[in-house]
Amino acid sequence: MAELEGEQDLQKKIEETRQRFQNEFIQDSTDKYDSRDVERLQKDDALVEGYLTWRLYAVDDALKMIDESFQWRKEFGVNDLTESTIPKWMFETGAVYLHGYDKEGNKLFWFKVKLHVKDAKTIMDKKKYVAFWLERYAKKEPGMPLTVVFDMTDSGLSNIDMDFVKYVINCFKVYYPKFLSKMIIVDMPWIMNAAWKIVKSWLGPEAISKLKFASRSEVQTFIGPEYLPSHMGGTDPFKYSYPPLPDDDFQTPICDNGPIVSEDETESKEGEMEGKDSLENSFNSEVVAKPKKVNFLDDSLRSEDNDKGDASARIKGVRKPLTTFKGLLLDVSPAEELSFGFGETEKKSLIILSNVTKNQVAFKVRTTAPEKYRVKPSSSCCEPGASVDIVVSLHGGSQASPQDRFLVMAAEMDNAGSQELAQFWKEVPKTKIMEHRLRCHVLESIKPALSLLRECPIDAATNGQQELNTALMRVMACNSRLEQKLNTCLWVQKVLIGLVLVLMVLNLLCLYLLGTAQRPS
C-alpha cells in the first residue's frame, strides 16, 4: 500500500499520474477517449486525487481505473447527456431520482426497486439514465458524496436485475471515485438474501464497509424522518412528479432582501428597510400568500459607501476561508463548505467572491433554509479584479444543519450601471449564469457541565435536588425490600434448622428402639 506524507507527495503523485497517462495511454490512440475528459484530467487536481485516493495512492491501479472510466464515458456519451437525450418515460416512472439528505448532509440517490422491470430492450436507456443523474450531480456539487438508497418495499424477484445492479455498483466503484458515502438497502425481502451476497462480492474491499442493510425502523439511524417517506416512518411530504426534475432544492420562494413586495410598495418601504438591522435585510422567512414580484435590489447597492464603511465591523471575528473554488466569473472561498458552531463567534461564516473577469459581475446568494440565515450582502455587484466579503449568520436561536445548502449565482453585466439588478436577473439567459453550491459543516462543541450550571443555576440546583431526593427514595425502598427478603430468609432458615433437629431426634429414637428390640430377654 502506498502512503503519502504530505501535500508535496500528493502533488508529485498527481503529476506522475498525468504524465504516465499521457505517455502510456494517449500516445498510441487519440480516439480512445473524449478529448474533454483528457483535458479535464490535465487541469483538475481534484479529479486525479479522487482516483488516487480510491486506489490508495497506487498510480498503476489509478491509471487502470482512469482508462476504464474514460472509455465508459465515451461509450455512453456522458459529456453530452442531457434531459432531452433521455427518453421522457424514464423520468416519468420515478424509479431513480435525487432528493433529500442523510444525517451527514450527503445527497440521497433513490432507487425504487419495485418500479424496475428487467428488460433487455431498455437496459441501455436505464444505464444512461443513471449516468445522467450522476453527471448532473457531479457538475453541480463537485467532490460531494452521495448516499444511495435501494428502497425494496413491495419488490420481488421479478424486480431484481443483476446486470443493472452490477452497473450501478461499477458507477461508484470505477466511474465516479469517492462518490459513494454509503449504500443503504431498505426492507429487503429474505428471498433476495442470496442475490445481495453476490452484490457484496462485486463491491470490493474499499466499498464493502459502505453497504448497510436496514429495516424500515432502522433506516432512521442514517436518514432523519424529514427526508423519509411515510412508509418508512418518515414525515417527508415529497411526491415524485415530472417535470420538473426534483433535485433542485433552490426552487422554493426565497426573499433575498426582505419581504416579497409588489412594485408599488417597493418605494414606500425603502426608508423603513434602511432602519432595520442590516442582517435582517438579506433573507426573510415571511412568505406572502400572493407575491407579485421578488425584489432582488440589495441595500448595499443603494448605499454602497455606507456598506464599505461598516464592512470591517461585519466581518470582525469571522474566520477567513482557507479553500477556493476557481470559477469562470468568480473565485469562491470557501470551495465547498461553510462552517458553523454553537459559540457566538461560530454563528457567522464568511464567503469571499473575487471577480476574475474584465467586466462587472452581478451576484446573488440563495439558501435552502431562508428562515435560518441572514446574508449581507445577498445581492450586489463586484467590480473587475475586486473582491466582496459576504457574511452569512445564523438568525436568532437557529442551528445550522448538514442538510442546509447555499447557492452562489453570478453573471457578467455588459452595461454596468445602466440597469437595476432585479431587471438584470430577469433578463439574463440561464446559459450565462455561473452557479456554485456550498453546504454547511457543523462544528462539534461540547459544553462542560459547569457552564450549563452557570447558564441556569436555579433550575440546575432545583433539578439536582429533585433528582437526589428521587434517588434516595429509590435506595430506601430497595433497602426495605432487601430487609423483608432477608427476614423471610432467616425465618425459612430457622424452620429448616428445626426440621433438621426433629429428624435427628427421630433418627436417634429409631436407633434406640432397634437396639432395645435386639437384646436377649
Tell me which residue has cell 432523519.
Answer: 224
Q: Is residue 189 part of a domain?
A: yes
Q: Which residue has the higher pLDDT, 98 or 283?
A: 98
Per-residue pLDDT tens digits for 205-254: 666 778 898 998 899 999 999 999 999 999 999 999 988 887 555 533 23
* 231-235, 304-308, 407-411, 415-419, range with the lowest pLDDT: 304-308
Q: CATH no. for residue 182?
A: 3.40.525.10
Q: Is residue 307 part of a domain?
A: no
* Per-residue cell: 3: 502512503
- Global confidence as pTM: 0.64
The structural domain count of the chain equals: 3
Q: Is residue 210 part of a domain?
A: yes
| Domain shared by 28 and 161, yes or no | no
Q: Is residue 427 part of a domain?
A: yes
Query: Residue 429 burial (CB < 10 Å; 0-12/13-18/19+)?
Result: exposed
- Report the helix count and the strand count for the chain, using DSSP H and E: 16, 15
Check whether 271 has a pLDDT greater than 60.
Answer: no
Contact 234, 226 (CB under 8 A): yes
| Domain shared by 99 and 216, yes or no | yes
Q: CATH no. for residue 400?
A: 2.60.40.10
| Domain shared by 379 and 334, yes or no | yes
| Domain shared by 146 and 25, yes or no | no
What range defines the domain where residue 416 resides? 325-442
Per-residue pLDDT tens digits for 488-503: 666 667 777 777 777 7
| Domain shared by 8 and 115, yes or no | no
φ/ψ of 475, rounded to 5, equals: -65, -45
| Domain shared by 340 and 435, yes or no | yes
Give the pLDDT band of residue 399 (cuts 50, 70, 90): confident
| Domain shared by 124 and 68, yes or no | no
Q: Is residue 63 part of a domain?
A: yes
Check whether 128 has a pLDDT greater than 80.
Answer: yes
Per-residue pLDDT tens digits for 158-192: 888 888 988 998 898 889 988 889 999 998 888 77
- What distance separates the 2 farthest-apart alpha carbons in the chain? 147
Give the pLDDT band of residue 280 (cuts 50, 70, 90): very low
Which residue, 119, 86, 408, 77, is CA-closest to 245?
86
Q: Is residue 130 part of a domain?
A: yes
| Per-residue pLDDT at 518 | 66
How far CA 206 is from CA of 57, 144, 212, 262, 321, in Å, comes to 13, 18, 14, 56, 31
Check whether 408 has a pLDDT greater than 50.
Answer: yes
Among candidate residues 198, 214, 232, the one where a domain is terminated: 232
| Domain shared by 219 and 354, yes or no | no
Check whether 273 has a pLDDT greater than 50.
Answer: no
| Domain shared by 33 and 105, yes or no | no
Stretch 458-470: mean pLDDT, rounded? 55
Q: Is residue 263 part of a domain?
A: no
Q: Is residue 337 part of a domain?
A: yes
Contact 359, 416 (CB under 8 A): yes
Residues in a beta bridge with 436 = 408
Among candidate residues 232, 262, 296, the one where a domain is terminated: 232
| Domain shared by 92 and 204, yes or no | yes
* Per-residue cell: 462: 432545583
| Domain shared by 104 and 73, yes or no | no
Q: What is the mean pLDDT of the chain?
A: 77
| Domain shared by 104 and 27, yes or no | no
Among candidate residues 232, 248, 276, the one where a domain is terminated: 232
